[in-house]
Structure 1
Protein backbone atom coordinates (compact mmCIF):
# COMPACT_ATOMS: atom_id res chain seq x y z
CA UNK A 1 0.00 0.00 0.00
CA UNK A 2 1.42 3.35 -0.97
CA UNK A 3 2.01 6.11 1.55
CA UNK A 4 -0.76 8.29 0.08
CA UNK A 5 -3.23 5.45 0.60
CA UNK A 6 -2.16 5.03 4.23
CA UNK A 7 -2.59 8.76 4.91
CA UNK A 8 -5.96 8.72 3.18
CA UNK A 9 -7.02 5.68 5.18
CA UNK A 10 -6.09 7.40 8.45
CA UNK A 11 -8.14 10.45 7.45
CA UNK A 12 -11.09 8.26 6.49
CA UNK A 13 -10.91 6.57 9.89
CA UNK A 14 -10.83 9.97 11.60
CA UNK A 15 -13.86 10.97 9.54
CA UNK A 16 -15.65 7.77 10.47
CA UNK A 17 -14.98 8.38 14.16
CA UNK A 18 -16.27 11.94 13.80
CA UNK A 19 -19.44 10.73 12.05
CA UNK A 20 -19.92 8.11 14.76
CA UNK A 21 -19.70 10.80 17.42
CA UNK A 22 -22.21 12.91 15.50
CA UNK A 23 -24.58 9.97 15.07
CA UNK A 24 -24.45 8.67 18.60
CA UNK A 25 -23.88 11.77 20.69
CA UNK A 26 -24.62 14.76 18.43
CA UNK A 27 -21.07 15.92 19.04
CA UNK A 28 -18.92 17.15 16.15
CA UNK A 29 -15.33 16.74 17.32
CA UNK A 30 -13.74 18.51 14.33
CA UNK A 31 -15.91 21.61 14.64
CA UNK A 32 -15.45 21.76 18.41
CA UNK A 33 -11.65 21.59 18.09
CA UNK A 34 -11.31 24.02 15.20
CA UNK A 35 -13.98 26.61 15.96
CA UNK A 36 -17.24 25.56 14.38
CA UNK A 37 -18.45 24.01 11.14
CA UNK A 38 -18.01 27.17 9.11
CA UNK A 39 -14.44 27.90 10.24
CA UNK A 40 -11.91 27.67 7.43
CA UNK A 41 -9.77 25.00 9.03
CA UNK A 42 -12.82 22.83 9.82
CA UNK A 43 -14.00 23.05 6.22
CA UNK A 44 -10.46 22.21 5.07
CA UNK A 45 -10.41 19.07 7.27
CA UNK A 46 -13.87 18.05 6.02
CA UNK A 47 -12.62 18.46 2.45
CA UNK A 48 -9.51 16.38 3.18
CA UNK A 49 -11.61 13.60 4.68
CA UNK A 50 -13.89 13.65 1.64
CA UNK A 51 -10.96 13.51 -0.78
CA UNK A 52 -9.43 10.73 1.28
CA UNK A 53 -12.60 8.73 0.85
CA UNK A 54 -12.28 9.13 -2.91
CA UNK A 55 -8.60 8.11 -2.79
CA UNK A 56 -9.50 4.99 -0.79
CA UNK A 57 -12.30 4.00 -3.17
CA UNK A 58 -10.01 1.97 -5.49
CA UNK A 59 -8.81 -0.01 -2.46
CA UNK A 60 -12.31 -1.44 -2.24
CA UNK A 61 -12.02 -3.00 -5.68
CA UNK A 62 -8.38 -4.09 -5.40
CA UNK A 63 -8.09 -7.86 -5.58
CA UNK A 64 -7.08 -9.57 -2.38
CA UNK A 65 -3.44 -10.54 -2.17
CA UNK A 66 -2.62 -14.20 -2.19
CA UNK A 67 -1.47 -15.46 1.16
CA UNK A 68 0.83 -18.42 1.20
CA UNK A 69 -0.57 -21.26 3.27
CA UNK A 70 1.51 -24.30 4.03
CA UNK A 71 -0.64 -27.35 3.59
CA UNK A 72 0.42 -30.86 4.39
CA UNK A 73 -1.42 -33.06 1.90
CA UNK A 74 0.59 -36.21 2.52
CA UNK A 75 -1.87 -37.86 4.87
CA UNK A 76 -5.20 -36.74 3.49
CA UNK A 77 -6.11 -40.04 1.85
CA UNK A 78 -4.34 -42.34 4.29
CA UNK A 79 -6.54 -42.21 7.34
CA UNK A 80 -4.94 -43.70 10.44
CA UNK A 81 -7.45 -44.81 13.04
CA UNK A 82 -4.75 -45.91 15.48
CA UNK A 83 -4.04 -44.12 18.71
CA UNK A 84 -1.23 -41.66 19.17
CA UNK A 85 1.07 -44.21 20.79
CA UNK A 86 0.23 -47.10 18.50
CA UNK A 87 -1.68 -49.03 21.12
CA UNK A 88 -4.49 -51.27 20.04
CA UNK A 89 -7.92 -50.92 21.55
CA UNK A 90 -8.92 -53.59 24.05
CA UNK A 91 -12.38 -54.83 23.04
CA UNK A 92 -12.71 -57.61 25.62
CA UNK A 93 -14.69 -55.35 27.95
CA UNK A 94 -17.28 -54.81 25.23
CA UNK A 95 -17.69 -58.55 24.76
CA UNK A 96 -18.05 -59.11 28.50
CA UNK A 97 -20.57 -56.28 28.74
CA UNK A 98 -22.70 -57.66 25.90
CA UNK A 99 -22.68 -61.13 27.47
CA UNK A 100 -23.72 -59.70 30.84
CA UNK A 101 -26.49 -57.71 29.16
CA UNK A 102 -27.84 -60.80 27.44
CA UNK A 103 -27.73 -62.75 30.72
CA UNK A 104 -29.71 -59.98 32.46
CA UNK A 105 -32.32 -59.97 29.71
CA UNK A 106 -32.86 -63.73 30.06
CA UNK A 107 -33.66 -63.38 33.77
Structure 2
Protein backbone atom coordinates (compact mmCIF):
# COMPACT_ATOMS: atom_id res chain seq x y z
CA UNK A 1 0.00 0.00 0.00
CA UNK A 2 2.80 2.41 0.82
CA UNK A 3 4.40 1.91 -2.59
CA UNK A 4 1.13 2.83 -4.27
CA UNK A 5 0.81 5.95 -2.11
CA UNK A 6 4.34 7.03 -3.03
CA UNK A 7 3.58 6.39 -6.70
CA UNK A 8 0.55 8.70 -6.35
CA UNK A 9 2.93 11.52 -5.26
CA UNK A 10 2.20 11.26 -1.53
CA UNK A 11 5.24 12.00 0.64
CA UNK A 12 5.68 10.35 4.02
CA UNK A 13 6.12 13.08 6.63
CA UNK A 14 5.82 11.04 9.84
CA UNK A 15 5.28 7.41 10.84
CA UNK A 16 4.43 5.73 14.13
CA UNK A 17 3.68 1.99 13.87
CA UNK A 18 0.82 1.72 11.34
CA UNK A 19 -0.14 5.42 11.47
CA UNK A 20 1.25 7.83 8.89
CA UNK A 21 1.07 11.52 8.12
CA UNK A 22 1.16 12.00 4.35
CA UNK A 23 1.75 15.24 2.50
CA UNK A 24 0.86 16.21 -1.07
CA UNK A 25 0.18 19.64 -2.58
CA UNK A 26 0.25 21.31 0.86
CA UNK A 27 -2.43 18.93 2.09
CA UNK A 28 -1.61 16.87 5.16
CA UNK A 29 -3.61 13.68 5.72
CA UNK A 30 -3.41 11.29 8.65
CA UNK A 31 -3.67 7.68 7.47
CA UNK A 32 -3.94 4.50 9.52
CA UNK A 33 -3.22 1.32 7.55
CA UNK A 34 -4.96 -1.81 8.84
CA UNK A 35 -4.28 -5.27 7.46
CA UNK A 36 -7.28 -7.40 8.33
CA UNK A 37 -8.54 -10.88 7.59
CA UNK A 38 -11.87 -9.91 9.12
CA UNK A 39 -13.89 -6.76 9.71
CA UNK A 40 -12.05 -3.73 11.10
CA UNK A 41 -13.39 -2.65 14.47
CA UNK A 42 -14.06 0.95 15.43
CA UNK A 43 -10.95 1.41 17.63
CA UNK A 44 -8.50 2.40 14.82
CA UNK A 45 -10.98 4.98 13.53
CA UNK A 46 -11.27 6.98 16.74
CA UNK A 47 -7.52 6.73 17.33
CA UNK A 48 -6.72 7.92 13.82
CA UNK A 49 -9.12 10.86 14.07
CA UNK A 50 -7.39 12.02 17.26
CA UNK A 51 -3.90 11.53 15.80
CA UNK A 52 -4.78 13.45 12.64
CA UNK A 53 -6.12 16.33 14.70
CA UNK A 54 -2.93 16.44 16.79
CA UNK A 55 -0.79 16.45 13.63
CA UNK A 56 -2.79 19.31 12.11
CA UNK A 57 -3.98 17.15 9.22
CA UNK A 58 -6.65 18.32 6.82
CA UNK A 59 -8.34 14.94 6.95
CA UNK A 60 -8.10 11.53 8.61
CA UNK A 61 -8.32 8.24 6.76
CA UNK A 62 -8.32 4.56 7.69
CA UNK A 63 -7.32 2.17 4.90
CA UNK A 64 -7.64 -1.58 5.12
CA UNK A 65 -7.13 -4.72 3.11
CA UNK A 66 -10.25 -6.14 4.77
CA UNK A 67 -13.75 -4.79 5.37
CA UNK A 68 -15.22 -2.30 7.80
CA UNK A 69 -17.87 -3.40 10.27
CA UNK A 70 -21.19 -1.55 10.31
CA UNK A 71 -20.24 0.09 13.61
CA UNK A 72 -16.88 1.18 12.18
CA UNK A 73 -18.53 2.74 9.10
CA UNK A 74 -21.00 4.63 11.31
CA UNK A 75 -18.21 5.90 13.57
CA UNK A 76 -16.12 6.95 10.56
CA UNK A 77 -19.04 8.93 9.17
CA UNK A 78 -19.71 10.53 12.55
CA UNK A 79 -16.07 11.58 13.03
CA UNK A 80 -15.59 12.54 9.34
CA UNK A 81 -12.88 9.93 8.83
CA UNK A 82 -12.48 8.44 5.35
CA UNK A 83 -12.90 4.66 5.54
CA UNK A 84 -11.31 3.22 2.39
CA UNK A 85 -10.24 -0.13 1.02
CA UNK A 86 -6.63 -0.16 -0.18
CA UNK A 87 -7.87 -0.27 -3.79
CA UNK A 88 -9.57 3.12 -3.33
CA UNK A 89 -6.40 5.20 -2.86
CA UNK A 90 -7.52 7.49 -5.66
CA UNK A 91 -10.21 8.84 -3.28
CA UNK A 92 -7.65 10.39 -0.92
CA UNK A 93 -7.72 14.20 -0.78
CA UNK A 94 -7.00 16.77 -2.23
CA UNK A 95 -9.25 15.31 -4.92
CA UNK A 96 -12.74 16.73 -4.59
CA UNK A 97 -14.90 13.87 -3.30
CA UNK A 98 -18.05 15.44 -4.71
CA UNK A 99 -16.69 14.72 -8.20
CA UNK A 100 -15.96 11.05 -7.52
CA UNK A 101 -18.27 8.56 -9.22
CA UNK A 102 -19.02 5.54 -7.00
CA UNK A 103 -17.36 2.32 -8.17
CA UNK A 104 -20.71 0.58 -8.57
CA UNK A 105 -21.74 3.15 -11.20
CA UNK A 106 -18.42 3.51 -13.04
CA UNK A 107 -18.30 0.36 -15.10
CA UNK A 108 -21.92 -0.55 -15.68
CA UNK A 109 -21.46 -0.55 -19.47
CA UNK A 110 -24.56 1.53 -20.18
CA UNK A 111 -24.25 4.43 -22.59
CA UNK A 112 -26.50 7.45 -22.85
CA UNK A 113 -28.08 8.26 -26.19
CA UNK A 114 -27.24 11.74 -27.45
Query: TM-score when scaled to structure 1?
Result: 0.21
Query: TM-score when scaled to structure 2?
Result: 0.20
Higher radius of gyration, 1 or 2: 1
Q: Indicate the structure with greater strand content.
A: 2
Name the structure, 1 or 2, with higher relative contact order (CA <8 Å, separation 6+): 1
Q: Indicate the structure with greater helix content.
A: 1
